[in-house]
Amino acid sequence: MYIQARTGEELEEELLRGSIKANTEGSEFKRKHKGGGKPLKRGYVDFEKSLMIAKSHQPWGHNPRRPRAPFLREMYDCIAPLLKKGRHYLRVFIAVKTPLDFWHGVDFFFEYEGNIVTVDVTLKPGKDFYKAKILITSNDILRNKHHRKAQEIARLLQEA
């Protein structure tokens, strides 16, 4: 796989959204929660609530069971056959520009039977500190090591 991105934001856009347009206004998080219609505040949001917000605020056109972005589809297709119950229970959610990204360092996550595995993508090959369970660097992608990361994700999804 070839990467054209030069910044972390471009990498997220290229890998996670592909040709999908973001459902945001500018670079600020100004989405509205479906329930109350009030704009979400930029204050700290705990992990569980951040997960709920990310799930309900997916980019336009993203289907958690059939991702359109080539990288996400490839990861999904690597993980699904490794799961005991198969792809029908696997979902992938994009968390970029949500509180899950801002506060918990998660760019996307997989969900399988209530188990969650969070993932961060980065251009920095030697990134030491990250909050997500799995870190995928641009070097992992260029050297096709992201398939090993997919196997690790599948193992973690089945553990709990």
- Taken in order 96, 110, 47, 7, the sign of the CA dihedral is negative
Mean pLDDT confidence for 8-23: 69
pLDDT at 117 over 60: yes
| 36 is a domain residue | no
| 27 domain residue, yes or no | no
Both structure tokens of 19: 């040709």
Split at pLDDT 50, 70, 90, the class of 3 is confident
Q: Using CA atoms in the order 147, 116, 45, 100, what is the torsion angle rounded to 10 degrees?
A: 20
What pLDDT score does 28 carry? 37
In a domain, 28, yes or no: no
Q: Is 122 among the domain residues?
A: yes
| Rg (the chain; Cα; Å) | 15
> How many separate domains does the chain show?
1
Helices 70-79 and 146-159, interaxial angle, to 10°?
Answer: 50
| Structural domain boundaries enclosing 71 | 8-19+43-159
In a domain, 99, yes or no: yes
Buried b (16+ CB within 10 A) or exposed e, 34-57: eeeeeebeeeebeeeebbebbbeb
Would you state the pLDDT for residue 26?
A: 36
- With a cut of 90, say whether residue 29 has pLDDT above it: no
Residue 35 lies in a domain: no
Please, are residues 119 and 133 in contact by the beta-carbon 8 Å criterion?
Answer: yes
In angstroms, rounded to a whole number, what is the distance separating the alpha carbons of residues 160 and 144?
A: 27
Predicted local confidence at residue 38, as pLDDT: 45
Note whether residue 130 is domain-resident.
Answer: yes
